[in-house]
Amino acid sequence: MMELSKPLIYTLLFFVMMVWGFNVIAIKVLVENFAPVTITAFRILVAGIVVMGFLAAKKEFRRLTWSQFGFITLGAMTGILGHHFFLATGLTATNASNAGLILGLVPLMTALFAILFLGDRLTVLKSLGIVFGLAGVAFIVLNGTGSLGSISRGDVYVFLAVVTQAISFITIKRATQTMDARLVTGWIQMIGALFLFAVSFQMEPEGMSSLTSAPLGVWSVFFASALLATAMGHMVYNKAIHQIGAGETAIFINLTPFFSLTGSYVFLGETIVVEQLIGFIFIVLGVVLGTGALEKKQPKAPSLPDSEERSHAAN
């Protein structure tokens, strides 16, 4: 598959985080008009169909081997079913500040799993970047309240949502070693949507009937969310996991709270306070340090042949 330059990957990830941040506003609209689990399953299914159709049109669709099917199924169970189920359940039993801060642990948890299972090296600067990123998330989600409150059953569920998402990122990294990242995206979304539908049939027996009651404007929000955030966004994100690693890619998730706040201000008229702006500064520092952008490059050995120099540069 075609490799992208790191600056381009970073730029695309930045825009994906912006789309995902604004997508929080879209999802809020959707869950207020539909049964939450059902509409989530339908949104992910539509995204998967779009990705698969795109690959089929380019004649890049491939069937799965049994080994690939195992990684895809695990990715679907963790990144789609597990993450969304635990998050939805947790948010019914904890406050938004606690949930937001716990979700900010995704980059740290992903980096930890990448060290344990993928052999990634967590440098001092990257560790500092994670700390800055988490501090920024804390400023934003706490919004100056200064208190996290007590740990509840909901907090545990949200933490499980973090763990399942981090596991899915590691699984995606393994899957993209033998598969195109876009194909991984499509298969995970298709299979994960089926898992979510199975759960929704049990939790929301009237969920499908809720799909017939929303106005046309809400459906435009649905398709924008499904196509831009879920389909295109995850294709780019999974491509980045393949090229620069799960831990480094996950650092960018720290940007999404800022864009969620911006979207709330632009579309809902909410006020952005000083603590949130301070949080954004910390997040930017976290992204710069956590991605290794400031780490010194190893000097090239002048005696290396040209071909060897190109090989080292490619790494």
Q: pLDDT by residue (tens digit) across 47-86?
A: 999 989 988 888 878 888 888 888 899 999 998 999 877 8
C-alpha 297/C-alpha 230 separation (Å) is 35
The segments of the chain whose pLDDT lies below 70 read: 1-2, 91-102, 104-105, 108, 140-152, 246-247, 250, 268, 270-273, 276, 287-288, 290-315
User: How far is residue 13's CA from residue 234's CA, in Å, rounded to a whole number?
Assistant: 10
Domain assignments of the chain as residue spans, ordered by start: 6-293
pLDDT at 313: 26
Let me know: does 58 contact 154? Beta carbons within 8 Å.
no
- CA distance linking residue 92 with residue 85, whole number of Å: 11
How far apart (Å, rounded) are the C-alpha atoms in residues 253 and 231?
17
Could you tell me if 55 and 203 are in contact, meaning their C-beta atoms sit under 8 angstroms apart? no
218/30 Cα distance (integer angstroms): 7
Are the C-beta atoms of 139 and 254 separated by less than 8 Å?
A: no
Tell me the C-alpha distance between 47 and 202, whole Å: 23
Burial label, 171 (beta-carbon count in 10 A; 0-12, 13-18, 19+): buried
pLDDT digits (tens, 9 = 90+) for 92-111: 666 555 566 667 667 767 77
pLDDT for residue 197: 93
CA quadruple 263, 210, 96, 44: dihedral sign:
negative
10 Å Cβ neighbour count for 303?
6
CB 183 within 8 A of CB 61: yes
End-to-end Cα separation, the chain, in angstroms? 16
Here the contacts of 29-36 (C-beta below 8 Å, separation 24 or greater) are 29/218, 29/221, 30/218, 30/221, 30/222, 30/225, 33/210, 33/213, 33/214, 33/215, 33/218, 34/207, 34/210, 34/211, 34/214, 35/200, 35/204, 35/206, 35/207, 35/210, 36/88, 36/204
